[in-house]
Amino acid sequence: MLLGIKDRKTLFRRHGIMVLFSLALVGLFWLSRGQWVPEMRLWRAVGDAGFVLLAMALSIGPLARLWLPARRWVAWRRELGIWFALLALGHGVLILSGWVGWSWRRFLGYEFVPQLGRWARLEPGFGLANLLGLAGLIWALVLMATSSDWAVRKLGIASWKWLQTGAYIIFYLVALHAVYFLFIHYTVSFHRPVPDPNWFRYPMAAIGLAVIGLQGAAYAQVVRRRQAAETSSVEVQKAILIGRRQIARGTYEMTFSVKSPLHFLAGQHTQVRVLKLLYPDPQGASRVFSIASSPTDKTRFSIAWRDTGSGYKRTLLELPIKTEVLVDRPGGQFILPDDIGRPVLMVAGGIGITPIMSMVRWAAEKKLPQVMVLLYANSSRERAAYLEELQELAGTNKHFSLRNQYQPIDGKVLAGLSKPYKNPIWYVVGPPGMVDSVRLLLSEAGAGEPDIIIENFDGYDG
């Protein structure tokens, strides 16, 4: 049941907090309804507390999309979901053993009428509302039962994730169930005296609408961002060289400014075309480069490269400051995962550090609570670009750690890297030979294809 949480102590602490929080909610609801019969008071208190936990669990995801600091709460979704399921189970059992008395007729909304000497329909809608609640409860128990590392491994991450999207189905089932009982059954009852209306009716409706609103806003933001990336960042634009510096032996960083904002995600790449080669190059005047700078500054970007002696690289080396080049709209799928709870284990070979630089710089700026571990392999210390900055970032960002390696990467090193982490996601980047061999080692060690994200620096053999 560890699911990416480093140690059992953390897991027990989280569940302990959830127990106290659930008890506090149930207690508050119980205390606020002194006029009700104890039986109803309890099942309603347990049900309402469960609804609050479900609403919280479903708000964290969209909130984290809209407001990055909320990502630190994403890991709590699991405990909230589990404790919602337990409270929903309690609510169901209390009703079935109390009011319904395990009678399927009463469950479907019939009452024994002594004057008629037979069962008569209580109210339309009652049975359906109960069935909706029961369906929600069954879904919740399935999700609770699959909240384990074992289930993730057995089902595979994609199928497991699909199953977890069922949480939204539960929300709508529970909302319909609650709407009937709060706004119809106890207020427009045909046969019985109507008890005091539930004070939680309107707050509950507001919470439900807020969850739907948050989901809508997060969805709209994703669509807006995609559209912005596709339309406002032009296909090809001019960029001006504004800086060049050596960052390791035979390795250079170049910074360019752009007129239209360059929209990209940390880890993506672009293509840089020089307008006039200073030396002939059979491969032409452009190359693909991962962007090394953070995407927060859209007016400038940096790339870094090794000098191989090719005509193109010799041209870059001598290009006067203020020279114009052409850059493509950035793209690529080598980007950080949405799931902040999964530890990211990065393996960068040589100049493959560029997209990782963009990721760790961005994560530090945004104070992202994502665990990131970098294994940085180079032939020597002198060839390790950005080493000082990386060491500094590892010192200041408690979620980021760095391991340097000046020998070929083997299975033992990778096993050591992943040992403290559950359910990690791997990011492997660098020259094609290195990427292929690390990918093979990871597959042999049992990592599944969806858990290995790779970026091949095709064309680079250094």
- Residue 105 vs 263, nearer CB to ligand FAD: 263
Considering only 2, 100, 134, 288, the residue that binds ligand FAD (CB under 6 A) is 288
Query: Are 83 and 22 within 8 A, CB to CB?
Result: yes
Minimum separation from the CB atom of position 298 to ligand FAD (A): 19
- Residue 32 vs 379, nearer CB to ligand FAD: 379
Piece in contact with ligand FAD (CB under 6 A), picked from 9-17, 393-401, 409-417, 454-462: 454-462
Query: Are 294 and 362 within 8 A, CB to CB?
Result: yes
Per rule CB under 6 A, is residue 457 in the interface with ligand FAD? yes
Minimum separation from the CB atom of position 312 to ligand FAD (A): 4
Minimum separation from the CB atom of position 377 to ligand FAD (A): 15
Minimum separation from the CB atom of position 330 to ligand FAD (A): 10
- Residue 287 vs 342, nearer CB to ligand FAD: 287
- Residue 71 vs 306, nearer CB to ligand FAD: 306
Token pair 């208190």 is found at 45
CA distances to 87, 374, 407, 408 from 413, rounded to whole Å, are 44, 12, 10, 10
Sheet holding 372-377, edge to edge: 400-405, 372-377, 344-349, 425-430, 452-456
Tokens found for residue 77: 């979704």
Residue 278 has a CB neighbour count (10 Å cut-off) of: 14
Give the three-state DSSP class for 286: strand
| Strand (E) or helix (H) holding 214 | helix 201-231
Minimum separation from the CB atom of position 26 to ligand FAD (A): 54
Minimum separation from the CB atom of position 231 to ligand FAD (A): 23
Rg (CA), the chain: 29
Minimum separation from the CB atom of position 210 to ligand FAD (A): 42
Alpha-carbon span 372 to 346, nearest angstrom? 7
Piece in contact with ligand FAD (CB under 6 A), picked from 37-45, 86-94, 298-306, 385-393: 298-306
Piece in contact with ligand FAD (CB under 6 A), picked from 37-45, 77-85, 297-305, 398-406: 297-305
Alpha-carbon span 365 to 297, nearest angstrom? 11
Piece in contact with ligand FAD (CB under 6 A), picked from 138-146, 215-223, 227-235, 299-307: 299-307
Per rule CB under 6 A, is residue 309 in the interface with ligand FAD? yes
Q: What are the two backbone dihedrals, phi and then psi, of residue 129, each rounded to the nearest 5 degrees?
A: -60, -40
Piece in contact with ligand FAD (CB under 6 A), picked from 238-246, 336-344, 388-396, 451-459: 451-459
Minimum separation from the CB atom of position 238 to ligand FAD (A): 20
Per rule CB under 6 A, is residue 289 in the interface with ligand FAD? yes
Q: Which residues 311-340 are close enough to bind ligand FAD by CB under 6 A?
A: 312-313
Within the chain, what is the greatest distance between any pair of CA atoms? 104
| 3-class SS string, 415-448 | HHHHCCCCCCEEEEEECHHHHHHHHHHHHHCCCC
- What is the x/- site pattern for ligand FAD, positions 204-243, by CB under 6 A? ----------------------------------------
Alpha-carbon span 178 to 132, nearest angstrom? 10
Alpha-carbon span 370 to 143, nearest angstrom? 24
CA distances to 153, 335, 385, 393 from 427, rounded to whole Å, are 19, 9, 18, 19
Q: What are the two backbone dihedrals, phi and then psi, of residue 420, each rounded to the nearest 5 degrees?
A: -75, -5
47 Cβ partners below 8 Å, 6+ apart?
87, 88, 91, 178
Minimum separation from the CB atom of position 323 to ligand FAD (A): 17
Piece in contact with ligand FAD (CB under 6 A), picked from 104-112, 176-184, 305-313, 441-449: 305-313
Count of positions on this chain that bind ligand FAD (CB under 6 A): 24
| Strand (E) or helix (H) holding 376 | strand 372-377
Q: Which residues 246-275 are close enough to bind ligand FAD by CB under 6 A?
A: 269
- Residue 10 vs 283, nearer CB to ligand FAD: 283
Considering only 103, 221, 308, 391, the residue that binds ligand FAD (CB under 6 A) is 308
Residues forming contacts to ligand FAD in the complex (CB under 6 A) are: 269, 283, 287-290, 303-306, 308-310, 312-313, 351, 354, 455, 457-462
